[in-house]
Amino acid sequence: MVRALARVNLAAIERNCARLRRELRDGAELAAVVKADGCGHGAVPTARAALAGRATWLAVATAAEAAELRAAGLDAPVLVMGALSDEELPVALRARADVVAWDERFAARAAELAAAREGPAVAVHVKLDTGMGRLGTRDPAQARRVADAVARAGELRLAGAMTHFATADEPGADDGFFEAQLERFATFAETLRSEHPGLLVHAANSAATLRSAAAHFDLVRCGVATYGLDPFHQDPAARELEPALELRSYVAALKPSARGESAGYGRRFVAERDTVLGVLPIGYGDGWRRGLSNNAEVLVGGARVPLVGTISMDNLTVDLGPAPSAGVGEPAVLIGAAGQERITAEEVARRLHTINYEITCGLTARVPRAYHRDGEPA
Tell me how crowded residue 235 is: count the other CB atoms within 10 A of its CB: 13
- Listed residues 186, 205, 235: the one ending a domain: 235
Whether residue 1 is predicted with pLDDT greater than 90 in this model: the reply is: no
Residues 218 and 258 in one domain: no
Secondary structure (3-state) at 150: helix
CA 13 to chain centre: 12
Residues 173 and 269 in one domain: no
Q: 268 lies in a domain?
A: yes
Using one digit for the tens of pLDDT, what is the confidence trace for 362-377? 999 999 999 999 999 9
The two beta strands, 219-222 and 29-33, are parallel
Please tell me the distance from the alpha carbon of residue 204 to that of residue 217, in angstroms, as a whole number. Answer: 8
According to the model, what pLDDT value does residue 173 have?
A: 83
What percentage of residues in the chain have a pLDDT greater than 70? 100
Residues 158 and 199 in one domain: yes
The two beta strands, 331-338 and 316-321, are unpaired
Q: 255 lies in a domain?
A: yes
CATH assignment of the domain containing 62: 3.20.20.10
Residues 190 and 260 in one domain: no
Residues 132 and 261 in one domain: no
Q: Do the beta carbons of residue 50 and residue 42 sit within 8 Å?
A: no
Residues 220 and 276 in one domain: no
Residue 62 pLDDT class (50, 70, 90 cuts): very high
Using one digit for the tens of pLDDT, what is the confidence trace for 99-140? 999 999 999 999 999 999 888 999 999 999 999 999 999 999
Backbone angles phi, psi at 166, to 5 degrees: -90, -30
- Which string of DSSP letters, residue by residue, matches 316-327? EEEEEESS-S--
Please tell me the distance from the alpha carbon of residue 163 to that of residue 332, in angstroms, as a whole number. Answer: 42
Q: 348 lies in a domain?
A: no
**Closest C-alpha among 67, 75, 65 to residue 39:** 65
The two beta strands, 245-250 and 331-338, are antiparallel
Residue 84 pLDDT class (50, 70, 90 cuts): very high
According to the model, what pLDDT value does residue 347 have?
A: 98
Secondary structure (3-state) at 182: helix
CATH assignment of the domain containing 314: 2.40.37.10
Residues 170 and 122 in one domain: yes
Q: How many structural domains comprise the chain?
A: 2
- Listed residues 235, 270, 290: the one ending a domain: 235
pTM: 0.95
Residues 200 and 309 in one domain: no
Q: 121 lies in a domain?
A: yes
Please tell me the distance from the alpha carbon of residue 122 to that of residue 127, in angstroms, as a whole number. Answer: 16
- Listed residues 235, 262, 283: the one ending a domain: 235
Q: Do the beta carbons of residue 207 and residue 220 sit within 8 Å?
A: no
Whether residue 172 is predicted with pLDDT greater than 90 in this model: the reply is: no
Q: 366 lies in a domain?
A: no
Secondary structure (3-state) at 151: helix
Q: 361 lies in a domain?
A: no
Residues 161 and 269 in one domain: no
Q: 119 lies in a domain?
A: yes
Q: Which residues are catalytic?
A: 35, 265
Q: 167 lies in a domain?
A: yes
Residue 159 pLDDT class (50, 70, 90 cuts): very high
User: Looking at residues 75-102, what average pLDDT do you find?
Assistant: 97
Residues 214 and 84 in one domain: yes
The secondary structure element, H or E, covering residue 73 is: none
* Domain region containing 139: 10-235
Residues 309 and 337 in one domain: yes
Residues 158 and 266 in one domain: no
According to the model, what pLDDT value does residue 341 have?
A: 97
Backbone angles phi, psi at 285, to 5 degrees: -65, -15
**Closest C-alpha among 33, 46, 61, 40 to residue 287:** 40
Using one digit for the tens of pLDDT, what is the confidence trace for 247-272? 999 999 999 999 999 999 999 999 99
